[in-house]
Amino acid sequence: MNMRLTMRSVGIAAGLLILTTLAAWQNRRLTDARRAGLPEAPAYASQVPPLLNFLTVGLGGFRGIAAEILWSHADRMQDEGRYIELVQLSDWITWLDPHATESWTYNAWNMAYNLSIMMHRPEDRLRWVLNGIALLRDQGLPANPHSASLYRELAWLYEHKIGSDDDSAHTIYRLALANAVAPLLNPDGSVDDTPAHRQALAAIGLSVERMLQLEHRFGPLDWRLAMSHAIYWATQGLEHAHGEEDLAGRRAVYQPLILSLTAGRFDGDLSKSVYHASPNPALFASTLSFMKETADKHPSPNIRAIYCLLLVQAIRHAHELGQTTLEQDYYEQLKHAGKGALAVPPLSDLLRNPKLPIK
């Protein structure tokens, strides 16, 4: 017992030494950064001080203790709103324990949400959002290639930070994404499979083979849009999701799919920096198929309600196009899916009033 206490004390002392040294090093670096203006994008591991590199090897099993001490300091920084300092400290935590996925998520979230919103210029906001994405994509996932949660977090950055309207700079983010990938795509936003495009897409973490597989599976995805990228990363996460993680993984896929039904086609003008997205009803069949599969595997009232409401929208869309056979087929699927949970009205009534009374 005394031996274990002694070893733990040594580990804590070493951790405190790390923290003290890093704090001094960080203070000098931040002072220089403030004098120079806005901080540059962090270089992560290349900027780890030599002492930390040395102690990383010397601490051995005590690296986890040192990481916990740094986590405690990071929590205080978070509470105090010291987000810039938090970036570097979080990077050191991932250096000490690269397989702690919450560290990568914590740092990426801080960059994409906390730091970006502090910036006054749109280009600076964009830079921090892209830093958060690149951190997960280029460092977090290579260190944890089977982490379903990291894939979901990356998908969420595309779906929410870029794809939603919550951030006032969302148009800047969306145009930046579209401009980055449009030269590598066909005019309709689908994959243009050439050797040069494969290489360029791989440089931003995208596999042409996987993109083509997703187009075959779900339909004409438009890769100029954030939701298609959310689907790309979420489907990879689902492949590594097991047990209770499966539903979370599926939710990360069906949310951007459903959103793509109403805004899944880019029809803006990049030459004039005009962003606009229109519905992509071609994804109805695959989205319904995925939702049915999800509802069969996770038959909760909430999942079934989402599936049924999606079927109602499909019925109305088929009706507007005069596709009576498809309309009737969707209606039969709705009656089957809602049995025991929904009071499904006659088809004519449903078309007049698409609201479904859920028991």
Label residue 186 left, alpha or beta by phi (over 0 means left) and psi (-120 to 50 means alpha).
beta
CA–CA distance, 190 with 184 (Å, rounded to integer): 9
Query: 303-331 pLDDT, tens per residue?
Result: 999 999 999 999 999 999 999 999 999 99
Query: How much is the pTM?
Result: 0.79
Q: How far apart are the first and last CA of the chain?
A: 60
- Residue 165 DSSP code: S
CA–CA distance, 108 with 10 (Å, rounded to integer): 32
Mean pLDDT calculated for residue range 60-82:
53
The full DSSP string for 31-48 is HHHHHHSSPPPP-GGGG-
Whether 9 has a pLDDT exceeding 70, the answer reads: no
User: 38 and 120 in contact (C-beta within 8 Å)?
Assistant: no
The pLDDT assigned to 77 comes to: 53
- Per-residue HEC secondary structure of 262-280 comes to HHCEECCEHHHCECCEECC
Q: Is 231 helix (H, G, I), strand (E, B) or coil?
A: helix
CA angle 74, 125, 30 (to 5 degrees): 45
Average pLDDT, the chain: 81
Place of tokens 């779900």: 218
Mean pLDDT calculated for residue range 102-113:
86
**CB hemisphere CA count around 335 (13 angstroms):** 9
pLDDT-derived band of residue 84, with 50, 70 and 90 as boundaries? low
Among residues of the chain, what percentage have pLDDT more than 70? 72
Which residues neighbour 337 within 8 Å (Cβ) at sequence distance 6 or greater?
Answer: 292, 295, 304, 307, 308, 311
CA–CA distance, 162 with 169 (Å, rounded to integer): 9
Both structure tokens of 98: 């690269």
Amino acid, res. 251:
R
pLDDT-derived band of residue 116, with 50, 70 and 90 as boundaries? confident
pLDDT-derived band of residue 82, with 50, 70 and 90 as boundaries? low
pLDDT-derived band of residue 52, with 50, 70 and 90 as boundaries? very low
Both structure tokens of 90: 């979080």
Mean pLDDT calculated for residue range 118-127:
88
Give the range among 125-129, 172-176, 197-201 with minimum mean pLDDT: 125-129
User: 253 and 218 in contact (C-beta within 8 Å)?
Assistant: no
Mean pLDDT calculated for residue range 76-103:
63
Mean pLDDT calculated for residue range 296-301:
92
The pLDDT assigned to 94 comes to: 64
Q: Return the bridge partners of 265, or none.
A: 278
Query: 218-252 pLDDT, tens per residue?
Result: 999 999 999 999 999 999 999 999 988 999 999 99
- Residue 344 DSSP code: P
Burial class (CB in 10 A: 0-12, 13-18, 19+), 157: buried
Whether 274 has a pLDDT exceeding 70, the answer reads: yes
CB count in 10 Å sphere of residue 209: 11
Domain residue spans in the chain?
Answer: 146-290, 299-359
Query: 327-353 pLDDT, tens per residue?
Result: 999 999 999 998 877 778 899 888 887
Query: 185-196 pLDDT, tens per residue?
Result: 999 999 999 999
Q: Which residue has the higher pLDDT, 117 or 227?
A: 227
User: 266 and 228 in contact (C-beta within 8 Å)?
Assistant: no
Closest-CA residue to 147 (of 192, 99, 111): 99
Provide the b/e sequence for 283-292 (b: ≥16 CB within 10 Å): bbebbbebbb
The pLDDT assigned to 79 comes to: 58
Query: 162-181 pLDDT, tens per residue?
Result: 999 999 999 999 999 999 99
CA angle 99, 102, 106 (to 5 degrees): 125
Closest-CA residue to 124 (of 137, 134, 133, 115): 115
pLDDT-derived band of residue 40, with 50, 70 and 90 as boundaries? very low
The pLDDT assigned to 76 comes to: 58
User: 163 and 256 in contact (C-beta within 8 Å)?
Assistant: yes
Both structure tokens of 41: 């994008």
Dmax (CA) for the chain in angstroms is: 81
Q: Which residue has the higher pLDDT, 63 or 173?
A: 173
Whether 5 has a pLDDT exceeding 50, the answer reads: no
